[in-house]
């Protein structure tokens, strides 16, 4: 846009220069003066018409140059403002990513400082809490009458996801050696030939929602009120997911965490 605008202005300047050169070739005598000095009525009429047309052409040319310059100035100003905004967003995102990584590193450091038997005790407590939540969830009868059939694409997604079991959780990772929760679900459905949004919040917001009673393998279960975690339902009341830093991709009870809802990529 800026290049095109500058080229247009240069073209208009060239036309204005051509008009000036034409006047110079007339000996520097303006057309109006030539008109007054002529004794020939026909030349007078012809010259008067050309003078009127020339004056209008000159006015139009100057007006177009003014408009072109104004449009170019406006576009340049808008482009500068947009670049400043984009750069500010980039810096903001980079800062947010650094803060998240710093918190993850701090959590890892804290856990690594625990004695081995204390870490094992923490792991057992987590498992007990998850088992209790899963048992309570299943006890509601939420899966009664649930059809376990999966689409061919859903089967491919489940096969890919379960093949990643044992790989470590890394925030922001999309495979193949490590994953975060939504990186795992995105890559799994990508292996089934379907591109889905990257983050758990986007997957919750943009993918079609289904009731739990209609859930089938390959569907994604979104957890917590802020949609901060997601796993893939694989059947029999279980999910495969990448839990958190310090843990590996694993199977877990679908009801072992607070469920926000279910989405279906297909």
Distance (Å, rounded) from C-alpha 107 to C-alpha 177?
21
DSSP reduced 3-state for 173: coil
Distance (Å, rounded) from C-alpha 264 to C-alpha 266?
6
Q: Output the CA–CA distances (angstroms, integers) from residue 219 to 138, 140, 236, 259, in the order listed.
A: 18, 20, 13, 13
Cβ proximity of 225 and 204 under 8 Å: no
Residue 181 among the catalytic residues: yes
Q: Which of 161, 170, 188 is nearest to 243 (CA)?
A: 170
Among 241, 242, 260, 265, the one annotated catalytic: 241
**What sections of 207-264 are H helices per DSSP?**
none
Among 181, 184, 240, 249, the one annotated catalytic: 181
Cβ proximity of 62 and 16 under 8 Å: yes
Residue 209 among the catalytic residues: no
| Strand partners for 233 | 239
Among 167, 187, 216, 229, the one annotated catalytic: 229
Residue 201 among the catalytic residues: no
Q: Which two tokens stand for residue 164?
A: 């990643």
Burial 80-109 (b: 16+ CB within 10 A, else e): eeeeeeeeeeeeeeeeeeeeeeeebeeeee
* Catalytic site positions: 181, 229, 241
């Amino acid at each position: 846009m800026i290049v095109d605008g500058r080229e247009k202005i240069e073209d208009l300047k060239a036309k204005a220069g051509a008009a000036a050169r034409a006047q110079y070739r007339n000996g520097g005598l303006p057309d109006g003066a030539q008109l007054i000095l002529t004794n020939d009525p026909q030349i007078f009429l012809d010259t008067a018409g050309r003078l009127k047309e020339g004056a209008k052409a000159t006015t139009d040319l100057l007006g177009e140059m003014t408009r072109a310059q104004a449009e170019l100035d406006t576009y340049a100003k808008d482009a500068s403002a947009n670049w400043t905004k984009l750069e500010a967003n980039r810096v903001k995102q980079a800062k947010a990513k650094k803060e998240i990584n710093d918190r993850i590193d701090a959590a890892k450091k804290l856990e690594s400082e625990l004695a081995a038997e204390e870490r094992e005790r923490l792991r057992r407590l987590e498992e007990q809490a998850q088992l209790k939540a899963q048992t309570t969830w299943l006890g509601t009868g939420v899966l009664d009458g649930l059809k376990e059939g999966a689409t061919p694409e859903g089967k491919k997604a489940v096969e890919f996801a379960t093949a990643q079991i044992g790989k470590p959780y890394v925030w922001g990772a999309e495979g193949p050696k490590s994953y975060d929760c939504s990186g795992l679900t995105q890559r799994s459905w990508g292996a089934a030939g379907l591109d889905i949004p990257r983050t758990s919040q986007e997957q919750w917001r943009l993918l079609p929602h289904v009731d739990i009673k209609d859930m089938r393998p390959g569907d994604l279960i979104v957890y917590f009120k802020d949609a901060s975690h997601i796993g893939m339902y694989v059947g029999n009341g279980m999910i495969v997911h990448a839990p958190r830093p310090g843990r590996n991709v694993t199977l877990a009870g679908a009801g072992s965490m607070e469920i926000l809802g279910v989405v279906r990529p297909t």
